[in-house]
Chain A
């Protein structure tokens, strides 16, 4: 008899919700740790949408530039997919991605248990 059958469907859903919440909590903690590690003031300044153009990429700290460029290349990706490209740990990429969201360079969208990160291009103006 499988574990699913033993604990029933409802308890399993509850456990999944707990896991999801723990993951969200973990992401928030990773961001807080990252913000403390780097220059918090400069990172926290632009809270509104800031275009991720090449001049902005050039002025970024190296660790964030690598993540940001990878998102630009992939278009829309999870922390896992970014980590596969950059060969860094998923938790590290998750922290950097969330930091880029806070800085206004990336957007984050939840799809079930997965969080996708992308550059908002089409809805913005620009001439």
Chain B
């Protein structure tokens, strides 16, 4: 049985999309069948980053109930040099679509939750998908909380920025805990973890601050930032230290019950 992983954060710019895309690429590299969904309907980014100008159906359409999920899946296995399979579900980047998704009411959101929950059967069971990765929008948005409720595991991308630390701590207590979610942290853009003691010190500081397991520590790589998200290091530069860290994170997740 596959797993649904939601990638979330309190603030924007913590590296959710970078992490989602590279994690999906890593699993696909390992031979897994992976689906990556962009659920950031207010600021869709996967279509731009993967240079997909237009697709026939978007995740928006699936959630609106106007198409089935298989119409949404775009096979991008070749782009990601996948040993397995990698399908992407894009959020519609058109301004009109963003406006439409921002104006949804509570009843629509309730139905959207039902449609996301149904993916466990339609993708994980019927299509034998190993991982469904949900890239969410930051903070307490309907689409993000729907994704969190649907997920088996929530990866929280965070930095040591003060406002992000406080907000993330609050979310851990007042959001993930309330839904009894298995939550793991990925600390991104970390400075100076070149030595083992520095790494250990940081790990213990994260543990004291958040009281949840730390799944990964990602240093600030200048070449990753310079690429502006357009290079998928996990598939294009598999020997890069960033890709190596992603391998470790993916293996940890593979080993989870």
Contacts and interface: CB of A to CB of B under 8 A. Distances in A.
12 contacts: A54-B142, A55-B145, A69-B149, A72-B117, A75-B117, A119-B110, A124-B107, A124-B110, A124-B111, A126-B105, A126-B109, A127-B108
A124 B65 CA distance: 13
Given A73-B117, A126-B111, A54 B145 contact: yes
Contacts of B149: 54, 57, 69, 72
B179 A53 contact: no
Contacts of B104: 126-127
Contacts of A75: 114, 117
Interface string B126-144: 0000000000000000100
Given A72-B149, A126-B105, A127-B103, A53 B178 contact: no
Interface string B92-115: 000000000001111111110110
Given A54-B145, A58-B145, A69 B107 contact: no
Contacts, number: 62
Interface string A21-36: 0000000000000000
B103 A72 contact: no
Contacts of A66: 180
Name the 6 nearest CB pairs between A and B, nearest first.
A126-B107, A126-B108, A54-B145, A53-B110, A51-B110, A51-B106
Interface of B: 103-111, 113-114, 117, 142, 145-146, 149, 175, 178-180
A52 B112 CA distance: 11
Contacts of A52: 110
A112 interface: no
A124 B179 CA distance: 25
B241 to A, nearest CB: 37
A51 B108 CA distance: 9
Given A51-B109, A73-B117, A124-B110, 14 more contacts: A53-B109, A54-B109, A54-B113, A54-B149, A55-B106, A58-B175, A65-B179, A66-B180, A72-B113, A72-B117, A75-B117, A126-B110, A127-B103, A127-B105
Contact of B106 (A58, A121, A126): A126
A120 to B, nearest CB: 9
A52 B109 CA distance: 9
B106 A119 contact: no
Contacts of A54: 109, 113, 142, 145-146, 149
Contacts of B113: 53-54, 72
